[in-house]
Amino acid sequence: MSQRSATEADINDGAAVFLLQSEGVNIGAPMSLDIPQYAIHTDGETGEISNVVVIQAEEANGQQVTGAFVVGSNKFMAGLVNEFKLLGKSKPEL
């Protein structure tokens, strides 16, 4: 998801993780991040660290939300942008 807000079809196709809506209306605006890109997510509550690929970044009402695919799993996740350490488009060396 780049240059536009996600739709329900994007979620059904696995191209997006979330919709930012208010009263059933999409209110999310795309953020200017390189999509896709590698990142490390640190959960603010548990401290759990995950290697991810960011596939979506939108903002609304002062909130910046990022959606990602968790590497090595079939899971998607969403979190606030400040929970992600962005690593760029090149695959990082581990």
3-state SS assignment for residue 15: coil
Domain range list for the chain: 8-88
Q: How would you classify the pairing of strands 76-80 and 63-70?
A: antiparallel
Alpha carbon of residue 82 to chain centroid: 11
- Walking along the chain (94 residues) 10 residues at a time, the average pLDDT comes out as 82 91 92 94 94 96 95 94 95 78
Residues in the chain: 94
Q: What is the value of pTM for the model shown?
A: 0.88
